[in-house]
Amino acid sequence: MSAAFATTQQVRELGEDEARFIGALKLVTAIPHVVIPKPSGVPLIKRMSILKRRRDISSEKFQSEWFDIHSFLVKRLPEVKGYTQNLIFDRAHGRGSPAEYDELPIDGIVELWFTDINSIDAAFGSDAGKTLMTHATEFIAEISTFLVETHEVV
């Protein structure tokens, strides 16, 4: 990847073009941790969330809570079809310009797959969903959630 984005004329032109329609590009690199494999060939809705840990929680404690306890609680949700945790390990302002944590405070990105909106509501409205979200407050300061319609590209 680094070689592909080495300083060449085409990469500079690409960066200039991106700036015109994206603005200030911010990048995160993550390690995926598949907890419940997403089925393929089935139309699903993805619920994505960007996570920011509490200030009093270290990155090591965040990973432990999220991978060891929270993943177990997600498995108890009714209707969930897939679950991937993406642990952020690098941040940058565009290509080749590293960012400090305080400049881009993202610790994880959640991917949860459901059949439809009603199944999302059922999952998070259940007792298991309430327990899950109560646990989240123990190590997460901020959760920004988006619904995404997914399409498989062959």
Residue 71: what pLDDT?
Answer: 97
Q: Which of the four pLDDT bands, split at 50, 70 and 90, describes residue 149?
A: confident
Number of structural domains (the chain) is 1
**pTM, full prediction:** 0.84
**Which of 104 and 154 is assigned the larger pLDDT?**
104
Q: Do 141 and 56 touch, CB atoms closer than 8 A?
A: no
Residue 18 lies in a domain: no
What 3 state SS string does 103-147 have?
A: HCCCCEEEEEEECCHHHHHHHHHCHHHHHHHHHHCCCEEEEEEEE
CA distance 97 to 81: 37
Please check whether residue 106 lies inside any domain of the structure.
yes
> Residue 123 belongs to a domain with what CATH number?
3.30.70.100
Q: Is residue 2 one of the residues assigned to a domain?
A: no
Report pLDDT digits (tens) over 70-126.
999 999 999 999 999 999 999 988 767 889 999 999 999 999 999 999 999 999 999
- Average confidence (pLDDT) over 13-30: 77
Name which residue leads in pLDDT, 137 or 152: 137
More confident residue, 12 or 81: 81
**pLDDT at residue 141 above 80?**
yes
